[in-house]
């Protein structure tokens, strides 16, 4: 654990890659573009999963599971969706291998085992789910359907980075069916706000809720809602999306219901999802040059107790006190670990827990036993303080709230300080190249202008904020009329 990370200021990308490995979160696997999520990284995902799952159920959703494979003809049914994902698809063409007659011990694809129809390994599940819904829906009494699935998907990325962009990743995807357009839009907006609530209040990351432009929408969506976050290097990251799909998929799969009036109507749809990319967002928003920084609500271990001793008799006395703290913390629902490993020195343990982002560290040595105190270190500020043993529980409970709030407040200040209004294209380029962050600028609403700005600067429209003020202005590039500002940024 002695190895220091490359500083964020020197090389942010290298810092990120080193931190993921050093904090024992994930590593590249033997499969090109895929990652192995290690226990510490997966424990964070489990915390995210548990909270989100409860939030979904609290809003009336139930979990199900659908196949990994989608027949090619079914995938092609909704043209825009198929076209949008075509370049990222992994395709299964055969179902069996056989011994290579020319090379002993080697296998080849059996040419006689060619599938009658190729199968797509799901990059998203709208096709298979809406084909399934056709059998579930006949009447308005069958609606709404509010289903979520926790799954893996495959998108054959050429340039990968752990958590942020991999060929296979974990996610959840909600798929709902409704009788009316209004109900479906309300659902899409609700789930976007659920994501915003989770990311802000549990991950401690401030977000902007907005709408994607036509060119940035999910393939097959009528409207895409999103939450956009800002990382410490001034680049944006799309943290979650919620899509109003209109009747595109119900028409593609002929999913109709009989209304109360006895008429046959196509169903209205939504889909929405977040993925293990959120772990990347967590890392890049809060962490520092010492390692990972985790908000207490998502930390697998919220408190670690490290004993410091030389004599065996001191070890036993410290262990007795530590175990008492463990019982008290657990009774309060605080995830605690007593790190009594004998094959590592205290300094090594300190460095490891600091690297892995444990919010609060408690150190107890022989002198602390004499004084009736412990040393408490908080990970977010690296501050240390001595606390009386009888006050430790209250102090830690207070720190859990304080650290959570501090991380959000710090990230929100950084985000707000990096939203810059500009009115000319020269200002636009200057801010983008020197300050970064979100650029609030007028845009004339055309895809042509959006694409030209992207080609000239590599900045994209991250979203049209839902709370954007109506403000007459002129497009930074063309000078044409604009009614509100949108947020541009370079992005992951």
Per-residue pLDDT at 158: 84
**Helical packing angle, 277-286 and 392-417, nearest 10°:** 90
Q: What is the pTM of this model?
A: 0.96
Residue tagged 């009594």 (tokens): 340
Query: What are the pLDDT digits (tens) for 216-262?
Result: 999 999 999 999 999 999 999 999 999 999 999 999 999 999 999 99
Q: 419-489 belongs to which homologous superfamily?
A: C-terminal domain of ProRS (3.30.110.30)
Cis amide leading into 144 (omega within 30): yes
Average pLDDT over residues 78-100: 96
Could you tell me the pLDDT band of residue 189, with boundaries at 50, 70 and 90?
very high
**Every domain of the chain and the residues it spans:** 12-286, 301-398, 419-489
For the chain, the first-to-last Cα distance in angstroms comes to 29
Length of the chain: 492
Residue with tokens 């908080």: 378
Cα angle value 476/479/482 (rounded, 5°) = 80
- Cα atoms in the 13 Å half-sphere on the side-chain side of 132: 16
Residue 316: per-residue pLDDT = 96
Q: Which residues, listed in sequence order, are joined to residue 121 by a DSSP beta bridge?
A: 69, 90
Residue 281: per-residue pLDDT: 98
pLDDT in tens, 380-427: 999 999 999 999 999 999 999 999 999 999 999 999 999 999 999 999
**Separation of alpha carbons 325 and 341, rounded Å:** 17
For residue 460, give Cα distances in angstroms to 206, 209, 275, 385: 20, 16, 21, 46
CA proximity to 24, closest of 46, 40, 43, 2: 40
CA distance 483 to 492: 28
Predicted confidence (pLDDT) per residue in 337-389, tens digit: 999 999 999 999 999 999 999 999 999 999 999 999 999 999 999 999 999 99
Calculate the alpha carbon distances from 286 to 205, 290, 293, 410 in Å: 8, 11, 6, 9
- Alpha-carbon distance 282 to 195, whole Å? 14
Superfamily of the domain at 301-398: Anticodon-binding domain (3.40.50.800)
pLDDT tier at 273 (50, 70, 90 boundaries)?
Answer: very high
DSSP state of 179: S
Fold held by 12-286: BirA Bifunctional Protein; domain 2 (3.30.930)
Mean pLDDT of 112-128: 97
| CB-side neighbour CA atoms (13 Å) of 47 | 23
Helix H or strand E encompassing 25: none
- pLDDT recorded at residue 67: 98
The token duo for 80 is 């825009």
pLDDT for res 358: 98
Residues in contact with 133: Cβ distance below 8 Å, sequence separation at least 6, in sequence order: 145, 175, 177, 250, 253, 255, 267
Mean pLDDT of 66-86: 96
Q: How far apart are CA 340 and CA 460, in angstroms?
A: 50
Whole-number percent of the chain with pLDDT over 90: 98
């Amino acid at each position: 654990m002695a190895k220091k990370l490359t500083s964020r200021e020197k090389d942010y990308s290298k810092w990120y890659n080193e931190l993921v490995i050093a904090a024992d979160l994930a590593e590249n696997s033997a499969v090109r573009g895929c990652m192995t999520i290690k226990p510490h990284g997966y424990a964070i995902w489990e915390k995210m999963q548990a909270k989100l799952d409860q939030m979904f159920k609290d809003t009336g959703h139930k979990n199900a599971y659908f196949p990994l494979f989608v027949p090619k003809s079914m995938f092609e049914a909704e043209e825009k969706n198929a076209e949008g994902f075509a370049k990222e698809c992994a395709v299964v063409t055969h179902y069996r291998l056989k011994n290579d007659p020319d090379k002993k011990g080697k296998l080849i694809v059996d040419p006689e085992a060619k599938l009658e129809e190729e199968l797509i390994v799901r990059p998203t599940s709208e096709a298979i789910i809406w084909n399934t819904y056709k059998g579930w829906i006949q009447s308005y009494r069958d609606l709404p359907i509010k289903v979520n699935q926790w799954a893996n998907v495959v998108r054959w990325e050429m340039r990968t980075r752990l958590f942020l962009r991999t060929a296979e990743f974990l996610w959840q995807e909600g798929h709902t069916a409704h009788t009316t357009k209004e109900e479906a839009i309300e659902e899409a907006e609700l789930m976007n706000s659920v994501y915003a609530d989770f990311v802000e209040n549990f991950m401690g990351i401030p977000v902007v809720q907005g709408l994607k432009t036509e060119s940035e929408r999910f393939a097959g969506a009528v409207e895409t809602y999103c939450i956009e976050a800002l990382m410490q290097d001034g680049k944006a990251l799309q943290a979650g999306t919620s899509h109003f799909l209109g009747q595109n998929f119900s028409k593609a799969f002929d999913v109709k219901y009989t209304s109360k009036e006895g008429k046959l109507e196509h169903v209205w749809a939504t889909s929405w999802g977040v993925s293990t990319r959120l772990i990347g967002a967590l890392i890049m928003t809060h962490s520092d040059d010492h390692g990972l920084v985790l908000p207490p609500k998502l930390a697998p271990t919220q408190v670690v107790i490290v004993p410091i001793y030389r004599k065996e008799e001191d070890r036993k006395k410290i262990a007795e006190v530590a175990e008492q703290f463990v019982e008290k913390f657990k009774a309060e629902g605080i995830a605690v670990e007593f790190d009594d490993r004998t094959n590592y020195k205290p300094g090594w343990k300190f460095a490891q827990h600091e690297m892995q982002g444990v919010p609060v560290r408690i150190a107890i040595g022989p002198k602390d036993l004499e004084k009736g105190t412990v040393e408490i270190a908080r990970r977010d500020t690296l501050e240390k303080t001595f606390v009386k043993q009888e006050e430790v529980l209250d102090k830690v409970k207070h720190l859990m709230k304080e650290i959570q709030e501090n991380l959000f407040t710090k990230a929100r200040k950084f985000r707000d300080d990096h939203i810059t209004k500009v009115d000319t294209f020269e200002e636009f380029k200057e801010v983008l190249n020197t300050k970064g962050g979100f650029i609030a600028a007028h845009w004339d609403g055309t895809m042509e202008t959006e694409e030209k700005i992207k080609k000239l600067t590599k900045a994209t429209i991250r979203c049209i904020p839902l709370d954007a003020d109506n403000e007459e202005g002129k497009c930074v590039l063309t000078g044409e009329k604009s009614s509100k500002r949108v947020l541009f940024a370079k992005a992951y």
